[in-house]
Amino acid sequence: MDGLDTLKARYLGAIASAADEAGLEDVRVAALGKKGEISLKMRDLGQMDPAGRQAAGALLNALKDEIDAALRAKKTALGDAALDERLKSEWLDVTLPGRPRRPGTVHPVSQVMEELTAIFADMGFSVAEGPQVESDWYNFDALNIPPEHPSRQEHDTFFMHRDPGDDRPPHVLRTHTSPVQIRAMMQEGAPIRVIAPGRVYRMDMDQTHTPMFHQAEGLAIDRDISMANLKWTLEEFCRAYFEVPSVELRFRASHFPFTEPSAEVDIRYSIVGGQLRIGEGDRWMEILGSGMVHPKVLAAAGVDPDQWQGFAFGMGIDRLAMLKYGIPDLRAFFESDLRWLRHYGFSPLDVPDLAGGLSL
Ligand code: PHE
């Protein structure tokens, strides 16, 4: 058949000079596509006589195979070249110094909870927890705060919804962590030593109050625990927590329905050049409420008040964090401002412990 050599030379030339995969594809379609030049010639074989068809068919098939092979080879070559080109532009100097990625930070409240837990664990306290939506009984009655008690008003309680006609007392967002005292004693009985850090809620909002804040409850019940044990425990705690050689606490007589006697505790501090100093100076900051657990509270939790006695305290975690880390405004704690979190946050890799240091 005439012209096959010319055809072959033309297509092999076109394949060799195809600049990219799209150009190569055009060549393939022109030669081997459904209406391609070689395909059409194959179709023409049908009109030939058997002898001519056999000879021409063999030649055409050989040509088709040759062009097909050339197309494949060129396609691979073009692909490799494209990859080389890309690798050149995506080249990475692995010897450059690393760019630091900022890890997340631990919120001061979480940090202080860890610190508290480490200190009290060292004194033999374990951690207890309770729900934030609490029943009226746990939050008030069991703690010797009956329905008409004036301190129910003082707590500025958030109440949960009750359907009209449902006369049961509504659940509340717990106003303090004290209900965990009841839950822990009902679960474990006496003797018991627990702390219970967690969120609490009261309707209140200014520079030092937010509607949600954090407390840590402490409870120690045994045969002969006294107010002296309470005082030592709190002093030890403050010394360890503030990481100073000594602190001075002031116990002020106070009143809580669930403790008798009751005391509020202030810590001595001063501000020197904008810096807060704990343990010196002539200012006092209230940090917690405390007292000897009321016999009625023990009884409500199933602990025999004739056999057991002990102390409880509740401290404000946010306030402790503000004091230790010099944070002026409580509201910023809960605004999730990244700049604030980076400034006041802690490394997630430095887990507070007494041997290694609480706040390195
Ligand atoms: N529950 C009290 C409060 O929120 C604090 C407290 C706890 C007082 C335990 C005495 C004993 O103010």
**CB-based pocket (< 6 A), ligand 1:** 176, 178, 256, 259, 289-291, 312-314
Ligand 1, atom 10: closest residue by C-alpha: 290
Residue 305 Cα to ligand 1 midpoint, Å, equals 20
Distance CA 165, CA 225 (A): 46
**Mean pLDDT across 179-198:** 98
Question: Do the beta carbons of residue 190 and residue 121 sit within 8 Å?
Answer: no
Distance CA 357, CA 352 (A): 6
Distance CA 194, CA 320 (A): 19
Ligand 1 atom closest to Cα of residue 262: 10
* Residue range 311-341, pLDDT digits in tens: 999 999 998 998 888 887 888 899 989 899 9
Residue 314 Cα to ligand 1 midpoint, Å, equals 4
Alpha carbon distances (Å) from 310 to 165, 189, 219, 305, 342: 41, 13, 7, 10, 41
Pair type for strands 259-272 and 192-201: unpaired
Distance CA 300, CA 185 (A): 10
Ligand 1 atom closest to Cα of residue 200: 4
| Residues 6 or more apart whose Cβ sits within 8 Å of residue 48 | 56
Please state which of the four CATH numbers 1.10.1060.10, 3.30.930.10, 2.70.98.10, 3.40.50.2000 is assigned to the domain occupying 108-344.
3.30.930.10
What's the pLDDT band for 154 if we cut at 50, 70, 90? low
Exposed/middle/buried for 59, CB within 10 Å: 0-12, 13-18, 19+?
Answer: middle
Ligand 1, atom 9: closest residue by C-alpha: 313
* Residue range 67-107, pLDDT digits in tens: 999 999 999 999 999 899 888 888 888 888 887 777 789 99
Residue 250 Cα to ligand 1 midpoint, Å, equals 16
Residue 196 Cα to ligand 1 midpoint, Å, equals 12
| Boundaries of every domain in the chain | 4-89, 108-344
User: Interhelix angle for 4-17 vs 21-32, to 10°?
Assistant: 160
Alpha carbon distances (Å) from 234 to 214, 253, 313: 18, 16, 9
Ligand 1 atom closest to Cα of residue 218: 9
Q: Indicate whether 29 pLDDT > 80.
A: yes
Ligand 1 atom closest to Cα of residue 219: 9
Ligand 1 atom closest to Cα of residue 311: 11
pTM: 0.70
Note the pLDDT of residue 360.
Answer: 63
* Residue range 106-129, pLDDT digits in tens: 999 999 999 999 999 999 999 999
Distance CA 134, CA 208 (A): 25
Give the residues across from 215 on adjacent strands: 198, 316
Question: Do the beta carbons of residue 123 and residue 220 sit within 8 Å?
Answer: no
Give buried/exposed letters for 120-131 (b at 16+ CB in 10 A, else e). beeeebebbebe
Nearest to 257 by CA among 285, 293, 206: 293
Gap between the terminal Cα atoms of the chain? 90
Ligand 1, atom 7: closest residue by C-alpha: 314
Ligand 1, atom 4: closest residue by C-alpha: 176
At 244, list the tokens: 């100073």
Residue 283 Cα to ligand 1 midpoint, Å, equals 22
Rounded to 5 degrees, φ, ψ at 158 are -90, 125
Residue 107 Cα to ligand 1 midpoint, Å, equals 24
Residue 313 Cα to ligand 1 midpoint, Å, equals 6
Exposed/middle/buried for 51, CB within 10 Å: 0-12, 13-18, 19+?
Answer: exposed
Q: What percent of the chain has pLDDT over 90?
A: 60
Distance CA 32, CA 152 (A): 91
Give the residues across from 265 on adjacent strands: 251, 288
Residue 259 Cα to ligand 1 midpoint, Å, equals 8
Question: Do the beta carbons of residue 15 and residue 67 sit within 8 Å?
Answer: yes
Note the pLDDT of residue 239.
Answer: 93
